[in-house]
Amino acid sequence: MTSRWCLLSTLLLCAPALAHAEDAAALWDKSCKNCHGPDGRAQTRMGQKESIPDMSRAAWQKAESDTELREVIANGSSHNPKMKAYKDRLTPEQMDALVRYIRTFKAKE
């Protein structure tokens, strides 16, 4: 009986985090995937055309801070005017979720 309660407690504690991860993935698919690709590698027509960086590269991940990522999501890119600002379309929580989602991208070795 105790193990069931432990399992249930664990699931209840983890459920919000899992829901946020799913929400971030859906948000990425809706708002970002067309240019940045499903895995952040920018292997899309727009990604190639606009020379969008590969977000899965360790060097890129290290070079970009969470604050910088959130700033670009909120206000668009000063390097690429086609990267639009999302501050009027996304909540602060959604932008933070996207930053965390971007941090999950890893290069395929």
* pLDDT given for residue 107 in this prediction: 75
For the chain, the DSSP string reads -HHHHHHHHHHHHHHHHHHHHHHHHHHHHHHTHHHH-TTSS--SHHHHHTT---TTSHHHHHHS-HHHHHHHHHH--SS-TTS---TTTS-HHHHHHHHHHHTT-----
Terminal CA-CA length for the chain: 44
pTM given for the model: 0.78
Q: pLDDT (tens digit, 9 = 90+) per residue, 91-104?
A: 999 999 999 999 99
